[in-house]
Amino acid sequence: MEKLISNTRVLVTGGAGFIGSNLIEALLLQDNEVVCLDNFATGSRKNLLPFLDNRKFKLIEGDLRNEADCRKSVEGIQYVLQQAALGSVPRSIKDPVTTNAVNVSGFLNMLVAARDAGVKRFVYASSSSVYGDHPGLPKIEEETGNPLSPYAITKKVNELYAGVFANLYGMEVVGLRYFNVFGKQQDPDGEYAAVIPRFIKALIRHERPGIFGNGEQSRDFTYVQNVVHANQAAALADDPEALNSAYNIAYGERITLNQLYNLLREYLSEFDPAIATIEPLYLADRAGDIPHSLASIDKARRLLGYEPMYSVKVGLKKAISWYWENLK
Ligand SMILES: NC(=O)c1ccc[n+]([C@@H]2O[C@H](COP(=O)([O-])OP(=O)(O)OC[C@H]3O[C@@H](n4cnc5c(N)ncnc54)[C@H](O)[C@@H]3O)[C@@H](O)[C@H]2O)c1
C-alpha cells in the first residue's frame, strides 16, 4: 500500500525547483499545509504559481546559507523534505566553493534548525553520484567508491552529517539517492540543464541535440512521481531499521543515451512528424560523468515499501506531453 502524507505540516526546501514543485503539488492535494523555502537560485516562480492562492501554502523566500531563514521555515513542521541544493556535476566543477556553501553549510544549517525545532523526520535528497568510481552494477547502498566531482562530495558529506545527527541527537533522518530524475517542470534551459529536457527542447525546435561521448553511457532514468512517492514512504516508514540510512531511488532499469534519444524522437514525432529524421550531434566526453548507472532498489522496497509505479516509457510520454504544451 502506498503511504501518503496527509493533514500535517511539511517543509519542502527547494520547492520552486523541479522535484520540489512536484512534491508540493502532491502534498497540497493530500490536504497538507506546505511551507516552501527557496531563494530562486535555479528554481522559478512559475513553478509556484499554481499554489500561491492556496491558503495552505506558504512561501519563505530565503537562503539555506542563512540560519535565520532555516529556523523560520521549520516552525511547526512535522516533516522536512530537503530538496534545496545546487545540482549539476559540471556546475560544481566550475564553482566548487558555491556548491559547497549551499550543499554542505546550507544543509548543515537545515539539520540544526530541524533538530532544534524537534521535527518528526528529516528526509533529504542525496544522489547516485555518491557511487563515484565504484564499478559495481547495479549500485548497492553499502558499496560506494571515490567521488568524481565536488557535487558528489557534497552529497556524501550530507549523508555523513545526517548519520552523525541521528546518532548524537536522536534525529530521524532518511537519505534518498536519486538516480537521474525527469518529468514536468524540469528546467530545459541553461548550461546545466539535464539531458531529457535538453533533448526534448532541441527536438521541438528542430535543432540537433548534443550527446556527450558516443551515447553508449547508460542511466537509470526515474520518473518524478516515483520520487514523490519515495519521499512520502521515507517520511512515514515505521520500521526502526529504516531510519538513519540512505536508499537508492530509481526505477531499477537502465537505458543508454542513444536509446533514450530514439525513444524521445519516436514519441515526439507523434506530435510533429518532422522530428523523426533529426539526428543527434556527438560531442566530446564530459568531465566528471560516470559511464554507467543502474540502481538496486531492493533496500528501498524492503525497508521503505517503495515501489516505482511509473516505467521510463510511461514517464517519458507524460513528460513529453507536458513539454509539448509548455514549450512549443
Ligand atoms: N534531478 C535529478 O535528477 C537529481 C538527481 C540526484 C539528486 N538530485 C537532488 O535533488 C534535489 C532537487 O533537485 P532538482 O532537480 O529539483 O533541482 P532544481 O535546481 O530544480 O531545484 C533545486 C531548488 O533549490 C533551490 N535552491 C538552491 N540553492 C538554494 C539556497 N541556497 N537556498 C534556498 N534554496 C535554494 C533552487 O532555487 C531550486 O528551486 C537537489 O538536492 C539535487 O541535488 C536531483
DSSP codes joined into one string, 18-71: HHHHHHHHHHHHTT-EEEEEE--SS--GGGGGGGTT-TTEEEEE--TT-HHHHH
Neighbouring-strand partners of residue 88:
none
Segments forming the whole domain that contains residue 151: 9-179+224-252+294-310
Q: Please give the distance, rounded to the nearest whole angstrom, from the Cα atom of residue 16 to the centre of ligand 1.
A: 9
What local confidence, expressed as pLDDT, does residue 34 receive?
A: 99
Identify which of 24, 74, 83 to mutate to test ligand 1's pocket (most ligand atoms within 8 A of the CB).
83
The reply to whether ligand 1 has any atom less than 6 angstroms from the CB of 180 is yes
Residue 152 domain-assigned (yes or no): yes
Number of compact structural domains in the chain: 1
For residue 289, pLDDT over 90 is answered with no
**Chain centroid offset of residue 205 CA:** 26
Give tens-digit pLDDT for 58-99. 999 999 999 999 999 999 999 999 999 999 999 999 999 999
270 pLDDT tier (thresholds 50, 70, 90): very high
pLDDT over 90 (residue 295): yes
Rounded to an integer, the average pLDDT of 106-133 is 98
CA distance linking residue 116 with residue 280, whole number of Å: 51
* Minimum-distance ligand 1 atom for the alpha carbon of 43: 39
User: Whose C-alpha lies nearest to ligand 1, atom 42?
Assistant: 87
Ligand 1 centre to CA of 225 (Å) is 16
Which atom of ligand 1 is closest in space to residue 178's alpha carbon? 6
Task: Identify which of 260, 150, 275 has the alpha carbon closest to the alpha carbon of residue 206.
Answer: 275
151 included as an active-site residue: yes
Distance 269 CA to ligand 1 centre (A): 31
Q: What is the pLDDT of residue 20?
A: 98
Residues 6 or more apart whose CB falls under 8 angstroms from that of 238 comprise none
Tens digits of residue pLDDT in 11-42: 999 999 999 999 999 999 999 999 999 999 99
Give mean pLDDT, residues 276-291: 90
The reply to whether 121 falls in a domain is: yes
Taking the centre of ligand 1 as the mean of its atom positions, its distance from the CA of residue 80, in whole angstroms, is: 14
How much is the pLDDT for 287? 79
How much is the average pLDDT of 163-183?
98
Please check the confidence at residue 288 and state whether its pLDDT lies above 90: no
Q: Does position 227 have pLDDT exceeding 90, yes or no?
A: yes
Domain contains 279 = no
Q: Which of helix, strand or coil describes residue 303?
A: helix
Mean model confidence pLDDT for the chain: 97
Element spanning 13, H or E:
strand 9-13
Q: Is it the case that residue 147 has pLDDT exceeding 80?
A: yes
Cell numbers linked to 117: 525545532
Q: Which atom of ligand 1 is nearest to the CA of 65?
A: 31
Q: Which atom belonging to ligand 1 lies closest to the Cα atom of 82?
A: 41
Longest dimension (CA), the chain: 60
- Is the beta carbon of 19 within 6 A of some atom in ligand 1? yes
CATH number at residue 67: 3.40.50.720
42 lines ligand 1 (CB under 6 A): yes
Alpha carbon separation from 28 to 25, 227, 300 (Å, rounded): 5, 16, 25
86: Cβ below 6 Å to ligand 1?
Answer: yes
What share of the chain has pLDDT > 90, as a percent?
96
Question: Would you say residue 282 lies in a domain?
Answer: no
Q: What pLDDT sits at residue 2?
A: 82
Give the pLDDT score at 57. Answer: 98
Cα(25)–Cα(112) distance, rounded to whole angstroms?
Answer: 27
274 occurs within a structural domain: no
Give the pLDDT confidence score for residue 328 in this predicted structure. 79
- What is residue 28's predicted lDDT score, i.e. its pLDDT? 98
Over pLDDT 70: what percentage of the chain?
100
pLDDT at 290: 80
The answer to whether residues 293 and 257 touch, using CB atoms and an 8 Å cutoff, is no
CA of 83 to the centre of ligand 1 (A): 5
* Tens-digit pLDDT profile for residues 45-57: 999 999 999 999 9
Q: Is the minimum distance from the CB of 38 to ligand 1 under 6 angstroms?
A: yes
The b/e string for 288-303 (b: 16+ C-beta within 10 A; e otherwise) is: bbbeebbbbbebbbeb
Q: Which of 79, 124, 131, 151 is catalytic?
A: 151
Provide the β-strand partners of residue 240.
none
Question: How many whole angstroms from 103 Cα to the centroid of ligand 1?
Answer: 9
Average pLDDT in the 160-180 region? 98
Distances from the Cα of 37 to the Cα of 53, 233, 280, angstroms: 17, 22, 38
| pLDDT 10s digits, 113-125 | 999 999 999 999 9
Question: Per the domain annotation, does 190 fall within a domain?
Answer: no
The response to whether residue 85 sits with its C-beta less than 6 Å from ligand 1 reads yes
Q: Relative to the CA of 63, which ligand 1 atom is closest?
A: 32
pLDDT given at position 286: 84
289-318: average pLDDT: 96
Backbone angles phi, psi at 31, to 5 degrees: 70, 30
